[in-house]
Amino acid sequence: MMVNGKWTGRYQPVQGVDEQGGFVRERSQFRHWVGEDEAFPLASGRYHLYVAMICPWACRTLMVRGLLGLEDVISVSRVKPALSEQGWAFGDTPPFIDPYLGARHLHQLYSHSDAAYTGRATVPVLWDKERRCIVNNESADIVRVLNGVFRPLGTEKFDLYPEFLRGEIDCLNERYYHTLNNGVYRAGFATTQVAYEEAYRDVFEALDELEARLSTQPYVLGEQVTETDVRLFVTLVRFDLAYYSLFKCNLRRIADYPALSAYLRRLYALPGVADTVEPEAIKAGYYSIESLNPTGIVPLGPETLPFLG
Ligand SMILES: N[C@@H](CCC(=O)N[C@@H](CS)C(=O)NCC(=O)O)C(=O)O
């Protein structure tokens, strides 16, 4: 956590708590849009993404970059998989370095962009190499910016947010954010039994509903892959590796859902997607959360991505 541009205290994962002991995620504060905001014109090679391979929010942006074939347009750095006392840290060799500020910790990017920043230093970060500041640190925005102004610069021809599906995409995104994307975190970081049980029920109701939906069609909105699939994929792909055990979402695994498993295989096979999934980094990252796993022991299983069979 940062206060007035300075890192304070030790890293702790719970962002906020409501009156029932439920986990509340902090709002992102850097919300500029490339192409719309005059200060940040569209340009190939000017912007950089900072991601953590553990992080589903960061991997949304990485997956869209891969699907659209934007690898040569937007460069990427990774933070090390395990959280340090000062939050996300860089290492000594690419891709774990910060080539622009030479920062040791991600929070330095935040204080460099806003000397009075108060809030968390989260990934993903979209960085402007020219102005040397954060453009946007909200994955939902970054995904839209990539599929919007950046899409014509990519090598692939997907449109993940087509005009005719926008209403439905927005509606499903909101629902699955609450029940699944953030639902697993609400279960994992609940501080009361009531808050945990409510989140747990939301998670499995959503999974059951998705299983039914995907038994008759390849993607959540029909024949076409959309942003909603990206947002689901990053959560589902982490489920059996971390959420099932560490976050106590243990009624069923994704491997127990045939249609959901087939859905993950289908998405994983699309261009640019497999490179955004690193099971070992996912396990190392989640099991480094000290408040949930004080010994830091990382489970050996599952040995592969269970949906790959
Ligand atoms: N609203 C943000 C949330 C990002 C987020 O919570 N990222 C986590 C990693 S999964 C993070 O960086 N946490 C560090 C912290 O909370 O200090 C987004 O979707 O971009």
> Which of 260, 253, 278 is CA-nearest to residue 210?
260
What pLDDT score was predicted for residue 283?
A: 95
110: annotated active-site residue: no
35 assigned to some structural domain: no
Which atom of ligand 1 lies nearest, measured to the CA of 57? Answer: 19
Joined tokens for residue 26? 């902090």
Residue nearest to atom 13 of ligand 1 (CA): 122
245 assigned to some structural domain: yes
257 assigned to some structural domain: yes
Name the one residue in this structure whose structure tokens are 């998705």: 210
228 assigned to some structural domain: yes
**CA 128 to ligand 1 center in whole angstroms:** 19
Angle at 302 between CA 13 and CA 124, to 5 degrees: 35
What pLDDT score was predicted for residue 217?
A: 98
Count the Cβ atoms, other than its own, within 10 Å of residue 128: 21
What pLDDT score was predicted for residue 243?
A: 98
Contact 190, 199 (CB under 8 A): yes
23 assigned to some structural domain: no
The one-letter amino acid at 209: E
Which atom of ligand 1 lies nearest, measured to the CA of 52? Answer: 9
> What pTM value is reported for the model?
0.95
Binding-site residues, ligand 1, Cβ < 6 A: 15, 28, 55, 57, 87, 120-124, 138-139
185: annotated active-site residue: yes
CA dihedral 12, 14, 15, 19 (to 10 degrees): -140
209 assigned to some structural domain: yes
Q: Above pLDDT 90, what percent of the chain?
A: 88
- Which CATH number belongs to the domain containing residue 263 in this structure? 1.20.1050.10
Give φ, ψ of 108 to 5 degrees. -65, -30
What pLDDT score was predicted for residue 13?
A: 74
Cα four-point dihedral sign 63, 132, 26, 83: positive
What pLDDT score was predicted for residue 272?
A: 95
Which atom of ligand 1 lies nearest, measured to the CA of 56? Answer: 10
Element spanning 3, H or E: strand 2-3
Cα four-point dihedral sign 119, 122, 124, 130: positive
Give me the tens of pLDDT residue by residue for the chain, a chain 309 residues long: 899 999 987 777 776 788 888 888 888 999 999 999 999 999 999 999 999 999 999 999 999 999 999 999 999 999 998 888 899 999 999 999 999 999 999 999 999 999 999 999 999 999 999 999 999 999 999 999 999 999 999 999 899 999 999 999 999 999 999 999 999 999 999 999 999 999 999 999 999 999 999 999 999 999 999 999 999 999 999 999 999 999 999 999 999 999 999 999 999 999 999 999 999 999 999 998 989 999 999 999 998 898 987
181 assigned to some structural domain: yes
**CA 14 to ligand 1 center in whole angstroms:** 11
Number of structural domains the chain divides into: 1
131 assigned to some structural domain: no
Per the structure, the complete domain to which residue 254 belongs is given by 163-270
